[in-house]
Amino acid sequence: MKEAQGILYLLLALMLCHALFTTGSHLLSSLWPVAAAAWLHLLPAVLLLVLSALPTLLFTASFLLLFSTLLSLVGLLTSMSHPSHAQDLDQ
């Protein structure tokens, strides 16, 4: 009896998987044109957003580069003016 019950559960699981797969494939095939049309409408907006953010990104990168250079110079000048560094150079 348990073997028949196991076979029935297996058949039920297979039928459920088949139903989900066919429903999912029908749903995806019907949604594909909608997704393609939405992508065609969204592509210019995404490109415009990226292009409008480009100057801000470049400004931020140049500011960070300048800031890190200034910090390096301050660190270099601080270490050179330290008295122990001058003694090390004399020896």
Q: Can you give the pTM of this predicted structure?
A: 0.40
Terminal Cα-to-Cα distance of the chain (whole angstroms): 96
Q: Which residues contact 79 (CB under 8 A, 6 or more apart)?
A: 85
Output the pLDDT for position 89. Answer: 56
Give the distance from CA 56 to its chain's centroid: 19
Higher pLDDT, 74 or 5: 74
Q: Which residues contact 85 (CB under 8 A, 6 or more apart)?
A: 79
Query: What is the C-alpha R_g of the chain?
Result: 33
pLDDT for 16-64, tens place per residue?
Answer: 888 888 887 887 788 888 888 888 889 888 899 989 999 999 999 999 9
Minimum mean pLDDT among 1-15, 37-51, 56-70, 74-88: which range? 74-88
For residue 77, what are the CA distances in angstroms to 9, 71, 88?
Answer: 78, 10, 16
Domain ranges of the chain: 2-90
